[in-house]
Chain A
Amino acid sequence: MTDAAAAAVEAVLARAAPEPASLLPVLHAVQEALGHVPPEAAGAIGHRLGLSAAEVHGVVSFYHWFRTRPGGRHTVRLCRAEACQARGAGTLQAHAERRLGCGLSGTGAGGVNLEPADCLGHCACGPSVLVDGQPHARVTPERLDAILAALEEKP
């Protein structure tokens, strides 16, 4: 962990109530700041919240949302639940994997994390994706290409 990352973790911890129930909010804030939850941060987080580093690791690994390795600058969450499958999510996934050159949970071309999602709540208008927190529905392979092209222009 770099000094800057450690400082970011400290800043998050300084704002948190020092109790175990703060763990998920803290992990979200750390991931928000750094793009992932560095495993080396478990000690400091646990120390502040009254947990062991092992307990912190256990929680981080339980939840699909948290990543422990640095990824790319952008995250595309692709819904693969039934309602989107009924509307071509399989084809969209194959296209995304080909275009980004990575599988689900990987990081592909242009620093884009491709994450699986189980339902994004746009089930009448699939397939849907969540791109850096912005929802897109009725996503054809062509529309996904346009979305990815727009990402490349962003920092």
Chain B
Amino acid sequence: MTAPAVYVPADSTALALGADAVAAAVAAESARRGVAVRVVRNSSRGAFWLEPLVEVDGPSGRLAFGAVSAADVPGLFEAGFLAGGKHRLALGPVTAIPWLARQDRLVFARAGLDDPLSPEAYLAAGGTAGLRRALALPPAAVVSQIADAGLRGRGGAAFPAAVKWRTVLETPAARKVVVCNADEGDSGTFADRMVMEGDPFALLEGMAIAGTAVGAERGIVYVRAEYPQARAALLRAVEIATAQGWLGGDVLGSGRAFRVDIFQGAGAYVCGEETALLESLEGKRGMVRAKPPVPAVAGLHGLPTLVHNVLTLATVPAILAHGPEAHGRRGTGRSRGTQAFQLAGNVRRGGLVEAPFGLSLRELVEGFGGGTESGRPIRAVQVGGPLGSWFPASQLDLPLDYESVAAAGGALGHGGVVVFDDTVDMARMARHAMAFCARESCGKCTPCRIGSTRGVELLDAIRREGPGGGRMELLRDLCATLAGASLCALGGMTPGPVLSALQHFPEDFGPRGAGGEP
């Protein structure tokens, strides 16, 4: 009989909460007691409020314990946790934890199951089925599958993926490129990181499928510098996938080539914008390009380039493997499939919630989230990252799909949802948005480059002296200019968080003494 497995996640949030020390304690305690165990470093299921979440194999599935610290480990052994013994951290069967059981996991189906870099585990959990299917189809048929699934880009703009695939496929060129946008700069988001660390083969498989469909033999993942663990996981995954023949000169014996390189970003938020990202890949400053031409026609070094977010590409294998209906029948209206909601900020049960589009903000922050961690009332929720709008507690019934959020004056973006309690100063958050725009502007458009700094000064004046003296009118004018005269969404959408804060929380925009951060 093999030694029983003890699963301790190696996801970087789990590491940030002490998972390495827990794994070491399990190894040490088992050695001390002479009990053989096999420590498996799995990925995270995304229930970050329970991390480090330790699991053991039970008679009817895996049993969970959390949140475990290294100091708890001797007690777990003492309680006989390997055999399902009672312990105050015991959570029962992991898949029965309501927070996980109520999710609908398509893209994150494999999250937390096993060692994410084990090719055997990947195959056993259905890996490469999508790529095999794609290689057996003509390229245009693969694109049709993506169209039938109704897949839209998960990076923020929600553009129909198949339109881009078709454009790249039909643009004649000797060489084409697939670029994965793993810059994930939005505050409150971590789903891309979870894929890269927790299911990197799925991302590579999605890229390979895209490559065979559009006729590209080269893929590049642009990973932000703030994600060293994700980058390391991808580098290893590329090596392993190449050794397995999933990537390389002869993908799964098809005679077709697809190679992937990993590229490290350098801390510029604007490089998440696809054309700035391409400039960055070319070794330049991350300046946004004017469109047309779109990258699908002339992107990296002028080659037709398919740029997609990590989640978009990681959704592709499931669409090919299970058919477009599996994706397309989920969701609502034109928002098809599932969204990886990332529940963050001041919330009791934060983490990754994958659910069909249309889940309400209330179900998310109260149902899954359980309200604020501080125990104080929810006051404001920012949906869609730093360029997303603020919603007051009175609007929690908002359905979370692209169209509904847009109709409410916001944007779902990459699916980040950040909760604040009633201690938040919304004028300060508005200032933060303007300062962020000023700091991260690529500098191409005057309103974004200069106007954002004026906006910070104005908000400081409003906080100091109040909204009178024409200051509010000036702020609104400035926002209108930003919205109307910006080349990209950094300048164009900064008015979102500023004006929504003003609209819903006008009482915060008055004299408050200090001014300036914090």
Residues of A within 8 A of B (CB): 19-25, 27-28, 49, 51, 58-59, 62-66, 77, 81-87, 90, 93-94, 117-126, 128, 130, 133-138
Contact = CB atoms under 8 A, between A and B. Distances in A.
Given A119-B187, A134-B15, A87 B346 contact: yes
B432 A82 contact: yes
Contacts of B51: 125
Q: How large is the interface on B (under 10, 10 to 19, 20 to 34, 35 or more residues)?
A: 35 or more
B257 to A, nearest CB: 19
Interface of B: 12-13, 15-17, 48-49, 51, 184-190, 193, 225-229, 263-269, 280-286, 301, 342-347, 350-351, 373, 382, 386, 416, 418-421, 424, 429, 432, 436, 440, 518
Contacts of A20: 282-284
B226 A59 contact: no
A58 B285 CA distance: 7
Contact of A122 (B190, B264, B301, B416): B190
21 contacts: A20-B284, A21-B281, A24-B280, A27-B266, A49-B283, A62-B285, A82-B188, A83-B187, A83-B418, A86-B418, A86-B419, A118-B187, A119-B186, A119-B188, A121-B193, A121-B227, A124-B48, A124-B49, A125-B49, A126-B345, A136-B16
A22 B228 CA distance: 19
Contacts of A22: 283
A129 B282 CA distance: 30
B15 A119 contact: no
Contact of B424 (A19, A86, A94): A86
B51 to A, nearest CB: 7
Given A20-B282, A21-B283, A130-B226, A81 B386 contact: yes
Nearest to A55: B284
B264 A28 contact: yes
Contacts of B432: 82, 85
Contacts of B229: 135
A93 B266 contact: no
A132 to B, nearest CB: 10
Contacts of A87: 345-346, 373
A64 B429 CA distance: 22
A122 B12 contact: yes
A125 B429 contact: no
A64 B187 contact: no
Contact of A81 (B187, B193, B343): B187
Contacts of A21: 281-283, 301
Contacts of B48: 122, 124-125
A9 to B, nearest CB: 17
Contacts of A25: 263-264
Contacts of A93: 518
Contacts of B184: 119, 121
A118 B186 CA distance: 8
Contacts of A126: 344-345
Nearest to A84: B187
A27 to B, nearest CB: 7
A121 B189 contact: yes
A81 B188 contact: yes
A90 to B, nearest CB: 4
Given A62-B286, A123-B344, A125-B350, 12 more contacts: A19-B283, A22-B283, A64-B267, A93-B518, A119-B188, A121-B12, A124-B351, A125-B49, A128-B16, A133-B228, A136-B16, A138-B17
Nearest to A58: B285
Contacts of A123: 187-190, 342, 344-345, 350, 416, 418
A37 to B, nearest CB: 11
Contacts of B347: 124
**Which of A49, A85, A125 gathers the greatest number of chain B CB atoms within 10 Å?**
A125
Nearest to A82: B187
A73 to B, nearest CB: 18
Contacts of B225: 28, 65
A131 to B, nearest CB: 10
A69 to B, nearest CB: 16
A128 B193 CA distance: 15
Given A83-B345, A83-B418, A133-B228, A122 B16 contact: yes
B13 A137 contact: yes
Contacts of B424: 86
Contacts of A24: 263-266, 280, 283
A81 B424 CA distance: 14
Contacts of B342: 123-124
Contact of A82 (B266, B281, B382): B382
B436 A118 contact: yes
Contacts of B267: 63-65, 117-118
A93 B432 CA distance: 15
Nearest to A51: B283
A19 to B, nearest CB: 8
